[in-house]
Structure 1
Amino acid sequence: MASAIVDKVKSVIQPEDENGKAGHCCSALSSGPGYASPEQAQKGPREKLLYITAVYTGTGKKKPDYLATVDVDPNSNTYSKVIYRTVVDHLDDEIHHSGWNTCSSCHGDGGQKRRYLVLPSLVSGRIYIVDTLKDPRAPQVHKTVEPDEILSRTGLAYPHTAHCLANGDIMVSCMGDKEGNSKGSGFLLLDSNFNVKGRWEKPGHSPPFGYDFWYQPRHNVMISSSWGAPKAFCKGFNPAHVADGLYGQHLFVYDWPEGTLKQTLDLGNTGLIPLEIRFLHDPSKAVGYVGAALSSTMVRFFKKDDDTWDTQVAVTVPALKVRNWILPEMPGLITDFLISLDDRFLYFSNWLHGDIRQYNIEDPANPVLTGQVWVGGLIRKGGNVYVEESGETWQSTVPDVQGTELRGGPQMIQLSLDGKRLYVSNSLFSAWDNQFYPSMVEKGSHMLQIDVDNVKGGLTINSRFFVDFGAEPEGPALAHEMRYPGGDCTSDIWL
C-alpha cells in the first residue's frame, strides 16, 4: 500500500514530457530551490530585499513600467528605500503580477535555481523574464516573450498569474483573446527556456473566465478563479457589466496534471468576482479559499468524500451604507489575501473600506477575527464619504506614517516567512485606481509594513517603514505585487 502511494505521488510530481520521459525538475537530487516543507520555510532567513512591480501605464506619463528593488533590511542605511529600478523596454504594458521560474515544488533538484522572475504584462500581453540571481540588488531583463508569439501559438492574451510547475515548465493564466473576450481565457505553457509550448488545458476545456489559479498535486487538482472580460474591466468598473455577464462568479476544477475541466462551482451572489485563490500550504490538505471581491466574502472550497468539490462562505464583510458616494452601499472589495505558512492565519485587504484583517483559521470552516488595522480607504476621517449606521454617521481613523497621509486603500499583501511582517501596497489596476482613487494616481502609491502578532493575533503599523512611490525620479508611480528573492507564501507550492 505504501509503495503504491509513493508511485502515485511520483507520477503527479514528475509528469511525462511530450517524448514520454519523466519530468526532470523533482528528480530527488541534491537540495534545490526553496524549502522541503512549509515548516522548513518558516525557519528561513529574514527577507532583506523585496521586488515590487511599478507602473506608469494608465497614469498619463509616457514612461515604461519597472520592477523596483526595495531594501527591507532594518540594519541597512538604505532601509525602506527603492535601491534599483529595472526598467522594461516598452510603453503601455501594465506589468501586474509576478511569479518565479521555479519554487519549492522543485526543492529536490539541485540543478534548479530560483533565478528568473516572470512578469506578465496585463494590458500589452508581453511577458518579461528578469534575472535576479546575477545581481539580486540590480535585476536585469533576460528575455521578452512577445504577445504576437503567444497569440499565434495559443490565441491567448491578457496574461495574469504565473506559477512554476514541477516538471520545469511555467504556467500563466490568461484572461481573454486579443479582442478582450473572456471566452478566450486559458493557460499558457512556457518551457524552462521561456519558449511558448502551447496551452496547458485540453482542447474544449478552457474556462469561460480567467484570473488566478493554484494546484495541489497530492489531490490531482488545479482550481482557477474568474475576474471578468478584459474589454470590460480594462475600462474601469461598471456595475451594469455584472448583470450583463461580463464578470465571473465561478471556480473551475481541473484534473492535475491532465488539464481536463471536471467541475464548475457556481458561487452565486455570495461569490461575485472571485479573484485570488490559495490552498492551505500543507500539501496533504484538500482545502483552500478564494476572495470574492464584489461580494466581499472569503469562500472556502474543499473536497468531499466522493472526490467532488464544494464551497462554503467562511467570512463576510458586510457592505456599508454610505453617504456621498456613487452607490448607497459600499462593498469592502476584498482584492488580495494570503495564508501564513503554518496555515494558522489568513490575511486580506478591503481596498475600498481601507482595512486589513487577520483571521485565525485553525478551524478552516469557522475563521475568527484576531486583528484589524486601518491604512486608507474611502471612509477615512477628513474625506467626503460617511458611513450611516444605527442613525449615526462615522468615519475610520487612519494615521499618517512618517508625516505622510496614506493614499488609496490596502491592496496587495505579502507575508514574511516567519509570519511576523506583512507588507502592503495599494495600487489595484490603473483603470480602477483612476476611477476610485484619482488622487493616488496623481500623487503615487506607497508600501507599508504591518507588524504581526502571529501567536495571539494582532496588527500594528510599523512607523519606521514607508516606501513612497510618489517620490520616484520619473514621477509618481503605481506599485502592485511583491516578491522576495528567497520565495514567499503566495508563490511556493509543495508536493
Structure 2
Amino acid sequence: MKLFRSKKNAVLFSLAALTMAAAVAPPVLADETCNSPYMSNLIKGQEDFVYVWTLGVKGMGDGFDKLVTIDVNPASKTYGKVLASVSVGSRGEAHHAGFSDDRRFLWAGQLDSSKIHIFDIHSNPAKPKLVNTIHDMAAKTGYVGPHTFYALPGRMLVGALSNNKDHGGVTGMAVYNNKGEFVSKHAMPTDKGGDGYGYDIGINPAKNVMLTTSFTGWNNYMMDMGKMIADPSAMKQFGSTMTLWNLKAMTPEKVFAVPGAPLELRWSLKEGDDWAITATALTSKLWLVKKDAKGVWQAKDVATIGDPAKIPLPVDISIGADGKSLWVNTFMDGTTRLFDLSNPEKPKQTYSLRTGSQVNMVSQSWDGKRVYISSSLLANWDKKGADDEQFVKLFAWNGKELKEQFKVDFYKEKLGRAHHMKFGARSAKMALGGAPAKVSLAAK
C-alpha cells in the first residue's frame, strides 16, 4: 500500500490507531497513572517488587548505574530486602524508566551518556536481566538525555531533555519499536510561544491529546546545583511551557505559558474526567490543564506548594486512581504532601510529613494504601554531607497519616543513589486487566 512507503507515514498510521484503542484500553490504577494507558497486564492486589533505577557512585561497589530489585511483599521472608542488582557497566546519570506496552520489558535511560538500557523483567521478575542497550540515540536524532519512556502499542516514545549541538534545553522525542529499533523523531516546538524544551509526556487517547512539559538541558542538569543557582545565565535556561499535541498527527497544536519548569504530568483516570495536573519546580505551583466553557484547552495556576520563597522544589507527583488526591514530594525540605483534588480547580493540602533530608520520587500502590519514597534527584544536585541520604522507604497510609514500614539504605548496601521506582509482581500474580485493541503497526 502507498500509505506505508515511508516510515513517516507508517508512524502516522500507528499513532492514529492509538485513538482506536482508547475505547477498550484498560483502566489503570493508582501509581500506574504515571505510565501509559496502553499498557496491559495490570497487577491486582499486593505488589511483590519495587525496581529501583539507581545512580552509580564512584568508589562505591562497582560504581556503575544499576537496576535494584527490592522485595516488598510483607508475606515474604525477604520483605524489605534487596533481592538483585543488575549493573549496566557504566555510570551515566541513571534517571527514569518505563515499561513496554506488554510490561515484559523495562526501558531505562542515562541522562549523561544518553544510553538506553532494556531489562527483561518477565522471565524472572525477582531477578531482571539486561538484554539490550541502545547507544545511538544522539546520532539518530540529535537529542541527548533520554528521560521519559512512554509505551505506545508496539512502540516506545522517548522524551529527551537536551541536544548534542549546544547541550541546551531545545530537544525532542524519539519513537522506537519494541525491538529497540529507531523509527522516527519529533522536535519540540520552537515557534508560536514554544521554547523547544521537553521533560514528561502524558496521553489522553479518548481526546486525541498528548501533553508535554519542560525542564532544562545537559549544561544545567550536569552542573553542581550550588554553582548553577549562583549563575544568573544558567537560571534562565529552564523551560516555561507545556505543549498540547494532536496525537494522531503527532504535531503540536497549542503552547501554554507555564513559568517555572513544569515537570511530572498526570491525567486524571476517573471516568468522565478530562484534565491533567503538573507541578512547577521553580515556582512551586500546581497547574491544571482542562477545557474551558467554550471547549478550548487551557492551563492555569490552581494551587501553591509550600512556601515558594523558600524554593521547596517540587520534584514528583502521584495521583490517586479516583483523581481525588495527589501526593507531592519537595526535594529541598524533604517533605511529602497530600493534596485533595476533589475540586481540581482548587486543590487543598490536607497532610504533610518530612520523610527525609531530601526526597525525590513518590509512588503509591495500586490500592493507595502504600507510599514509596526515593531520595536522589541528580548526582550533582543531591545534598552534601549528612543530608545526602540515599534510600527507598515504604510508608503505610491509613487515610490519616504515613507510618514508615521499612527503609533500604542504598549507601549502606553500597548500591548508589536511589532514583526512579517501578512496581513488579511474580508472573503468577500478573492479571490481564483488558489489553488495548489489536493494532496493526506497519513499521516493524
Aligned partner (choices 378, 393, 411) of residue 470 of structure 1: 411
Aligned partner (choices 247, 253, 261) of residue 238 of structure 2: 247
Structure 1 residues 311, 204: closer, same or farther in 2, change over 3 A? closer
Deviation at 1:93? 1.4
Structure 1 residues 43, 134: closer, same or farther in 2, change over 3 A? closer
C-alpha separation in 2, matches of 1:299 and 1:63: 38
Structure 1: where are the runs of 5+ without partners? 1-14, 103-112, 321-328, 377-407
Count of aligned pairs between the two proteins: 407
Deviation at 1:200? 3.8
Structure 1 residues 367, 59: closer, same or farther in 2, change over 3 A? farther
| Structure 1 stretches of at least 4 aligned residues deviating more than 4 Å after TM superposition | 18-28, 39-43, 57-62, 201-207, 241-244, 492-495
Task: Name the structure, 1 or 2, with higher relative contact order (CA <8 Å, separation 6+).
Answer: 2
Q: Which has the larger radius of gyration?
A: 1
Aligned residue for 2:411, secondary structure, equals helix
Contact 2:150 2:157 in 1 (8 A): yes
| Higher strand proportion (structure 1 or 2) | 2
1:176 and 2:156 equivalent?
Answer: no
Please give the residue correspondences for 1:318-329 in structure 2 after superposition, counting only pairs within 5 Å.
Answer: 318-319=306-307, 329=309
Aligned residue for 2:322, secondary structure, equals coil
Aligned partner (choices 334, 356, 361) of residue 412 of structure 1: 361
Contact 1:319 1:330 in 2 (8 A): yes
Contact 1:281 1:494 in 2 (8 A): no
Match of residue 69 from structure 1: 69
Match of residue 36 from structure 2: none
Match of residue 277 from structure 2: 289
Deviation at 1:317? 2.7
Structure 1 residues 365, 439: closer, same or farther in 2, change over 3 A? same
Match of residue 304 from structure 2: 316
Moved more, 217-226 or 365-374: 365-374
C-alpha separation in 1, matches of 2:172 and 2:370: 34
Match of residue 5 from structure 2: none
Q: TM-score normalised to the size of structure 2?
A: 0.83
Counterpart code for 1:222? M
Contact 2:60 2:416 in 1 (8 A): no
Contact 2:29 2:366 in 1 (8 A): no
C-alpha separation in 2, matches of 1:137 and 1:43: 15
Structure 2: where are the runs of 5+ without partners? 1-7, 33-41, 438-444
Structure 1 residues 189, 22: closer, same or farther in 2, change over 3 A? closer
Aligned partner (choices 26, 38, 51) of residue 36 of structure 1: 26
Contact 2:195 2:240 in 1 (8 A): no
Q: TM-score normalised to the size of structure 1?
A: 0.75
Aligned residue for 1:194, secondary structure, equals coil
Deviations 1:301-355 (A, max 9, x none): 11224443222222213437xxxxxxxx521111100101121211001111221
Structure 1 residues 234, 183: closer, same or farther in 2, change over 3 A? closer
Root-mean-square deviation (CA), in Å?
3.2
C-alpha separation in 2, matches of 1:316 and 1:95: 30
Deviation at 1:359? 1.4
Counterpart code for 2:358? G
Aligned partner (choices 128, 132, 139) of residue 152 of structure 1: 139
Structure 1 residues 439, 60: closer, same or farther in 2, change over 3 A? farther
Counterpart code for 2:392? M
Structure 1 residues 178, 137: closer, same or farther in 2, change over 3 A? same
Aligned partner (choices 232, 251, 262) of residue 220 of structure 2: 232
Match of residue 3 from structure 1: none
- How much identity, in percent, do the aligned residues show? 23
